[in-house]
Structure 1
Amino acid sequence: MDDIGPKALTGAALAAAMMVAAPGARAEPLRYIPPVSNPLFNESPLITTEVRPVFIHHDIPKGFLTGGGNVDVAAVQARVAITDRLAIIATKDGYADVHFAGVLPDDNGFANIAAGLKYALVLTDDAALTVGLRYEAPLGSLKTAGISLQGHGDGFINVFATAVKQFDRLQVQASVNANMALDSDADSSLLVGSLHANYAVTDWFYPLVEFNVFSVIDHGARMNVPFEGFDLVNFGATDGGTVATVAAGARFRIASNVLLGAAYEAPVTSRKDITSWRVYADAVISF
């Protein structure tokens, strides 16, 4: 799996484009189940008004320079439909508590803030294709031993495309992101691709599987270290690479406008960087 990189991400982009046909009349898919893992980058193609509280427990490998540790993150995403095709999205915020097993001191603080717009190019009764743009402002306070854990430059510009296709009870989604550091000397730029599939076993139970790839396409020059972060963390490392993960879990519909989700995620490449495994729990509340 170590040869996974930009080619695989290009494939995800092609998959997203191939999943939808020519633009049709406005109609949401018969049912839409959003992904659970990679909540920052794997954006919904639908135009909705919703809030999404998210909890993440992230385990750091024992082989990492700190001897292991963990990060707990609590955040709330928000999306507001302006028209049937245009929405404002706020997808990164929250509070993180970082515990290291050794070397570096523990810390806690606020995450950076990321927000932007997305526009649906295609909306039919069984498919959607959406593009978007967001800016991550370097407003966070998460540090350890004076080291900024979320970048040290002018923030990030993220350009993305995301698509979903319905096949009766099966739903497939693909997305691709370019997360570009505005100060390449300080931070690393990433290409991120995601695939998601779920199956409607019942009207309330949707098991799912997801595949995510995070690939550094422009190394930073802030830290001379052989590892990089992916979503919450950006070290500006001089030696970042590619990490692929697989997540499995389920969503549960507990009301017509409320979905609960849970998933477990772990790397499938030998390169893990700062990720041993993760668990997610969230709720999607639509209005």
Structure 2
Amino acid sequence: MNAKFSAAVAALALGMPSIAPAQQLMPSEIVGADSAVAPYEYASPPAIADQFVIDDPSCDVGCSEQLSCSDSCCEKAILCGLIKQSDHCFDSFISPMTNPVFFEDPRQLTEVRGIFLNHKVPLAAGGGDIQVYAAQARARITDRLSIIATKDGYAVSQNPVIADGWADVAAGLKYTIYSDAETQRLLSGGLTYEIPAGTPRTRQGNGDGEFHLFLTGGAQVLGYGHVISGSGFRLPADSSEESQMWYWSNHFDYQVLQKWYFLTEYNWYHWMSSGNNDFAPGIEGGDLFNFGSTGVAGNDIVTGAIGAKYKPNRHVEIGVAWELPLTERRDVLENRLTVDAILRY
């Protein structure tokens, strides 16, 4: 009788389960295998059903750190790390909706965002509606830096002084200044330049372009809520053709159901200097236009919005918001409906 057989007989006599040699080897084989799955990594693509569950907002292990292209997270990047996937350490956040050209999400994202606006103009500025169809793109190129394309699109107008046509094009960079995934707080800054490539009869293409300097930050609050605040300056290269403006935009959302968020936003626009154009004296173009009008320095407009977003998973956001001026001064905004859809990598 060999030693292993004797041990098995003794174990049975004492009422203990017998352990086969193959079972004894199994744990060490699994630990040493090359195919062992590290924590928080997928051995295979998630099932279709998994795509409809919002991921835990905690940071993906390793994905928030710098990785070489041989690492599993980096292999998911486009062009072997040239364009990285979005920072998923803040997946419980949603992006702001109003002031869409300038109010930037503080996260580093790789995404495409489609935007539709139905913008109603007050009778004092000619009345009518303007529909804008636009797309934004963002590409995260390092852990802290991304390329952002924030303005383009086509406008269809029923306003007598703003015709159908193409919008100017704006792009630039966004850099993360501070990021703490544990406390869910972050701060970013950036710069964009607007190329005057739009259609003049659409009140685009004027001046020598416009620089936009901004800061934007966010924090998780009240358990399932989030605050995002952004402020910036619109600085035209030719201040006689376009006006200078400072803005402050604020977003608050609360996750009311697993995939649904309620949101409210407020925007304050302050014109610092006027242009020399008498196209619309005393009236400026808000966030969509820059008329360079005379007599607008010192003017202020505050708008408020309510809305909702549907976020089935970390890769998709669909939102709608209704915006109104809260000040007596309205300039070119009677009201606005904003709809957006985001596909995020």
CA RMSD of aligned residues (A): 1.5
Structure 2-normalised TM-score?
Answer: 0.71
Contact 1:150 1:232 in 2 (8 A): no
Q: Report deviation, 1:30.
A: 4.9
Give the partner amino acid of 1:115.
A
Q: Report deviation, 1:256.
A: 3.5
Q: Which runs of 4+ in 1 moved over 6 A?
A: none
Contact 2:197 2:205 in 1 (8 A): no
Aligned match of 2:254? 199
CA distance in 1, matches of 2:220, 2:117: 28
CA distance in 2, matches of 1:115, 1:161: 16
1:30 and 1:48, CA in 2 relative to 1: closer, same or farther beyond 3 A?
Answer: closer
The C-alpha deviation readout for 1:253-287, integer Å capped at 9, x for no partner, is 13441010000000000000011000000011101
One of 201, 204, 225 as aligned partner of 1:150? 204
3-state SS of paired residue (1:195): strand
CA distance in 1, matches of 2:168, 2:145: 24
CA distance in 1, matches of 2:331, 2:180: 40
Contact 1:173 1:195 in 2 (8 A): yes
CA distance in 2, matches of 1:247, 1:73: 18
Aligned match of 1:270? 328
Structure 1 position 31 matched with structure 2 position 87: no
One of 164, 178, 187 as aligned partner of 2:233? 178
- Between the two structures, name the one with larger relative contact order (CA 8 Å, sep ≥ 6): 1
One of 244, 258, 261 as aligned partner of 1:189? 244
Give the partner amino acid of 2:119.
H
1:227-246 equivalences under 5 Å are 227-240=283-296, 241-246=299-304
The C-alpha deviation readout for 1:20-51, integer Å capped at 9, x for no partner, is xxxxx867225111111111111010001000
1:76-87 equivalences under 5 Å are 76-87=135-146
Q: Tell me the number of residue pairs that the alignment of Structure 1 and Structure 2 aligns.
A: 254
3-state SS of paired residue (1:207): strand
1:30 and 1:49, CA in 2 relative to 1: closer, same or farther beyond 3 A?
Answer: closer
1:79-228 equivalences under 5 Å are 79-100=138-159, 104=161, 107-125=163-181, 126-143=184-201, 149-150=203-204, 152-167=206-221, 168-223=223-278, 225-228=281-284
Give the partner amino acid of 2:169.
I
Structure 1-normalised TM-score?
Answer: 0.85
The C-alpha deviation readout for 1:181-207, integer Å capped at 9, x for no partner, is 110111101101101000011221000
5+ residue gaps in structure 1? 1-24
CA distance in 1, matches of 2:287, 2:157: 15
Contact 1:46 1:128 in 2 (8 A): yes
Instruction: Report sequence identity in percent.
Output: 37
| Bigger strand fraction | 1
One of 226, 232, 247 as aligned partner of 2:305? 247
The C-alpha deviation readout for 1:104-159, integer Å capped at 9, x for no partner, is 4x621110000000100111110110000000010001416xxxx13621010100
5+ residue gaps in structure 2? 1-63, 66-86
